[in-house]
Amino acid sequence: MVQTNPKTVLVIEDDLELLDLVAFVLEDEGYRVEKASDGLEGLRAVERKMPDLIILDMKMPVMNGWQFASEFKARYDGRAPIVVLTAGANARRNAEEIGAQGWIGKPFELDELVATVRRFTKGP
């Protein structure tokens, strides 16, 4: 389905295979996806265009998820919701620590990913 004004999702994940998979699935659902492999790249992507949603891994090199969330809130007052994507046992706690709006625990089902993105973007 081609959207005239698709929602943009910024995915910040250092596992490049997972990053590509998430991007592929969301693009197939009609979303525009920006990719970043660490928090610093994520901030640069936000500077170019504010996404409708940020999917954020927590443990990354260069700038981790906690540092990204802190900097994002300081610079942009949390103008886009953040969904944490991290190890299952810690996902909820990590999300609460940074004030994220949601979380997805790894490993996850692709249907869960799509449903969560839809919930926070109100569809593509």
The CATH number for 114's domain is 3.40.50.2300
Helix/strand/coil for 102: strand
CA separation, residue 114 to residues 25, 30, 47, 122 (Å): 8, 11, 25, 11
Exposure pattern of 68-79 as b/e (b: 16+ CB <10 Å)? bbebbeeeeeee
Looking at residue 86, its pLDDT comes to 85
Is residue 2 situated within a structural domain?
no
> What is the pTM assigned to this prediction?
0.92
User: In the chain, how many domains are there?
Assistant: 1
Domain that holds residue 67: 8-121
Report how far residue 82's alpha carbon sits from residue 78's, in angstroms, rounded to the nearest whole number.
Answer: 8
* Structure tokens that stand for 65 in this block: 């998820």
Give 87's strand partners.
Answer: 106
Is residue 22 situated within a structural domain?
yes
Please report where in the chains the tokens 């249907």 appear, as a residue.
111
Is residue 21 situated within a structural domain?
yes
Looking at residue 107, its pLDDT comes to 86
Looking at residue 122, its pLDDT comes to 85
Is residue 1 situated within a structural domain?
no
Report how far residue 4's alpha carbon sits from residue 24's, in angstroms, rounded to the nearest whole number.
Answer: 19
Show the low-confidence residues of the chain (pLDDT under 70).
1-4, 88, 123-124
Looking at residue 4, its pLDDT comes to 65
